[in-house]
Amino acid sequence: MSDDSAAAVDVGASSDFPEGKGCQVDVKGRPLSIFRKDGTLYALDLHCYHMGGPLSMGDIEDLTLPEKGESVVHPCVVCPWHKYKISLKTGEGIYVQSDPFAAGGGNKQVKSRGRKQRTHPILEDSDGRVKVQLNLSTDTKFESDYYATEEMKELLARQ
């Protein structure tokens, strides 16, 4: 991570981020979506890794993913464009696979496509301010990075 991205940026007051709603902020030129679910704040790249949909306008839905023999609940944003679901915690693309040949359409399984959306550390100070630290680590590439380039930001702004 570069020094420039290390400092946490104040993005507003706690009251600016109400429960269950998405908000759009800009941190050092990178558009992000911020959500509060069950009191916890999450920050992800704004534009959906699939085709750039504005995640801040998406609804939130809980999906339970089997992980190492346990069931782990992932609050997910549902992209308003094509309804892809993305974990707010990990940025994983999460989908429900059903067996069309199963009786009654049952046998649904929740699965992960892997981490697709870049997430960013976010904290809430005791003085009621919300701060985001951009995660620009180049250790891992995320598909959502494509929509944070200047060229794509310009294109998306025209839509």
Which pairs from 72-75 meet CB under 8 Å and 24+ separation?
75/35, 75/37, 75/38, 75/42
User: Which CB, 79 or 148, lies closer to ligand FES?
Assistant: 79
Smallest gap from residue 1 Cβ to ligand FES (A): 27
Residue 100 has which token pair? 């069309």
Smallest gap from residue 12 Cβ to ligand FES (A): 25
User: Which CB, 131 or 144, lies closer to ligand FES?
Assistant: 144
User: Which CB, 8 or 56, lies closer to ligand FES?
Assistant: 56
Closest CA to 141 of 108, 122, 114: 114
Smallest gap from residue 78 Cβ to ligand FES (A): 9
Distance CA 133, CA 123 (A): 9
Smallest gap from residue 79 Cβ to ligand FES (A): 3
User: Which CB, 50 or 131, lies closer to ligand FES?
Assistant: 50
The residues that touch ligand FES, with contacts defined as CB under 6 A, are 48, 50-53, 79, 81-82, 84
Collapsing DSSP to helix, strand or coil, 145 comes out as helix
Q: Provide the residue count of the chain.
A: 159
Place of tokens 């699965």: 111
Residue 132 has which token pair? 């985001």
